[in-house]
Chains A and B, each alone.
Chain A
Amino acid sequence: MAGVAGGNDFQWCFSQVKGAIDEDVAEADIISTVEFNYSGELLATGDKGGRVVIFQHEQESKNRPHLRGEYNVYSTFQSHEPEFDYLKSLEIEEKINKIRWLPQQNAAHFLLSTNDKTIKLWKISERDKRAEGYNLKDEDGRLRDPFRITSLRVPVLMPMDLMVEASPRRIFANAHTYHINSISVNSDHETYLSADDLRINLWHLEITDRSFNIVDIKPANMEELTEVITAAECHPHQCNVFVYSSSKGTIRLCDMRAAALCDRHSKFFEEPEDPSSRSFFSEIISSISDVKFSHSGRYMMTRDYLSVKVWDLNMENRPVETYQVHEYLRSKLCSLYENDCIFDKFECCWNGSDSAIMTGSYNNFFRMFDRNTRRDITLEASRESSKPRATLKPRKVSTGGKRKKDEISVDSLDFNKKILHTAWHPKDNVIAVAATNNLYIFQDKIN
Chain B
Amino acid sequence: MDCTFLTLRVSIAEERGDETKQTKTRRIHTTHDTFQGHVRSMLGRGVKRKWSCLEELEAEGLPDAAEEKQQSASDESAESGDEAGLLPPRSDMSHLQQRQLVLGLCLEKLQRYQAGMELSLRRSVLLINTLRQIQEEMRSDGVGTCTSDVLLNGVHPDSCLLRDDFREEDMPVTCPGCAEGDAESLSPPLSPEFPSPEAAGDQQKPPPAATVSTFSDAVNAMGYLSDLALDDIFEDIDTSMYETSDLPSAWSAGSLWPVSVSLWPDEDVKMRPGSHSSAGSLQSCLTDLNELDHIMEILVKS
Contact = CB atoms under 8 A, between A and B. Distances in A.
Report the interface size class on chain B: 35 or more
Given A174-B43, A212-B40, A275-B75, A343 B51 contact: no
A179 B118 CA distance: 9
B272 interface: no
B72 A225 contact: no
B156 interface: no
B197 interface: no
B43 A223 contact: no
A90 B116 contact: yes
Contact of A261 (B15, B35, B47): B35
Given A190-B9, A213-B40, A216-B49, A222 B4 contact: no
Nearest to B51: A219
B230 A87 contact: yes
Interface in B225-265: 226-232, 236, 255, 262-263
A193 to B, nearest CB: 12
Contacts of A210: 15, 28, 42-43
A220 B48 contact: yes
B105 interface: yes
B134 interface: yes
B4 A176 contact: no
Contacts of B117: 90-91
B38 A260 contact: no
A188 B122 contact: no
B37 to A, nearest CB: 10
Interface string A323-340: 000000000001001101
Contacts, number: 179
A361 B154 CA distance: 49
Interface string B101-118: 110010001000000111
A284 B102 contact: no
Nearest to A117: B45
Interface string B36-62: 101011111111111111110010000
A257 to B, nearest CB: 5
Contact of B98 (A187, A239, A264, A280): A280
A340 B216 contact: no
B114 to A, nearest CB: 9
12 contacts: A191-B5, A197-B122, A197-B227, A204-B8, A216-B38, A218-B232, A220-B51, A222-B236, A222-B255, A282-B72, A283-B133, A340-B109
Interface of A: 87-91, 116, 174-179, 187-188, 190-191, 196-199, 201-202, 204, 207, 209-213, 216-228, 230, 239-240, 247, 256-257, 260-261, 263-264, 275-276, 278-284, 287, 334, 337-338, 340, 343
Interface of B: 1-5, 8-9, 12, 15, 26-28, 35-36, 38, 40-55, 58, 71-72, 75-76, 79, 98-99, 101-102, 105, 109, 116-118, 120-123, 125-126, 129-130, 132-134, 216, 219-220, 224, 226-232, 236, 255, 262-263
Given A89-B116, A217-B54, 6 more contacts: A187-B1, A197-B122, A210-B42, A225-B125, A280-B98, A334-B101
